[in-house]
């Protein structure tokens, strides 16, 4: 099967699977990550099919919506790619990307890490969608989905989170900026990712200052 056909079939599959997804993890999130992946990949020596499929399938079954089960996404992706007659080496690489892309997994200590240029590109693209204007919108959308407080000055961010603490957190949405979003700029893997992240990071800092000024009634 031609690569373009595989990608088009994958897009159709993901759209169907995520048609009822939460607004921050829906098809439009996947589409943005896919576009950013292709943009970053232009400057990197990577396998185009692997990064395309990794971007399109990275959230096919996000564990946070499946009671924390981290096996469903890789299984769904693998079964679909087998149905598309994708070679086993590509499937294995895409599955590794799905298993290692998330921020929470970077908090895990003493576990074997997987690295590849393809993972780095898709990870940067995914993290870019978590910051800037879109990142802010997604953050509050998910906070509303989980019925979390916007902000509580008495509840301080946890800056030494473990993976389990991150997964189980029900802290106010503003805390998530300090526990993840503001940390992503310095965790970018590629030069292109770092450049885009710098601008989006600055926007978040401006937003937070405005938020606090309004909270205190200063503006």
| Predicted pLDDT of residue 110 | 59
Torsion angle (degrees, nearest 10) of CA 67, 108, 89, 69: -10
Domain map of the chain by residue range? 3-215
Low-confidence residues of the chain, pLDDT below 50? Answer: none
Q: Which two tokens stand for residue 130?
A: 């978590």
| Predicted pLDDT of residue 111 | 63
| Predicted pLDDT of residue 30 | 97
| Predicted pLDDT of residue 165 | 80
Burial label for 10, CB within 10 Å (0-12, 13-18, 19+), is: buried
| Predicted pLDDT of residue 102 | 87
Considering the domain 3-215 in this protein, what is its CATH number?
A: 1.10.3210.50
User: Following DSSP, what letter does each residue of 9-58 receive, concatenated?
Assistant: HHHHHHHHHTTT--TTSSHHHHHHHHHHHHHHHTTS---HHHHHHHHHHT
| Predicted pLDDT of residue 194 | 97
Instruction: Give the separation between CA 103 and CA 157, rounded to whole angstroms.
Output: 16
């Amino acid at each position: 099967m031609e690569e373009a056909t595989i990608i088009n079939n994958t897009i159709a599959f993901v759209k169907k699977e995520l048609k009822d997804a939460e607004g921050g993890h829906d098809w439009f999130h996947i589409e943005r990550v896919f576009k950013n992946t292709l943009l970053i990949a232009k400057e990197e020596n990577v396998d185009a099919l692997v990064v395309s499929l990794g971007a399109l399938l990275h959230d096919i079954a996000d564990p946070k919506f499946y009671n924390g089960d981290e096996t469903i996404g890789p299984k769904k992706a693998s079964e679909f790619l087998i149905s598309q007659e994708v070679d086993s080496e590509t499937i294995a690489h895409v599955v590794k990307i799905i298993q290692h892309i998330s921020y929470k997994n970077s908090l895990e200590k003493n576990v074997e890490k997987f690295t590849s240029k393809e993972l780095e590109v898709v990870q940067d693209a995914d993290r870019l969608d978590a910051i800037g204007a879109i990142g802010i919108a997604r953050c509050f959308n998910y906070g509303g989905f989980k019925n979390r407080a916007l902000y509580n000055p008495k509840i301080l961010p946890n800056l030494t989170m473990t993976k389990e603490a991150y997964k189980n957190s029900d802290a106010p949405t503003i805390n998530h900026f300090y526990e993840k979003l503001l940390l992503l700029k310095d965790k970018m893997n590629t030069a292109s990712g770092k450049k885009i992240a710098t601008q989006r990071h600055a926007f978040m800092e401006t937003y937070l200052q405005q938020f606090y000024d309004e909270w205190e009634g200063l503006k």
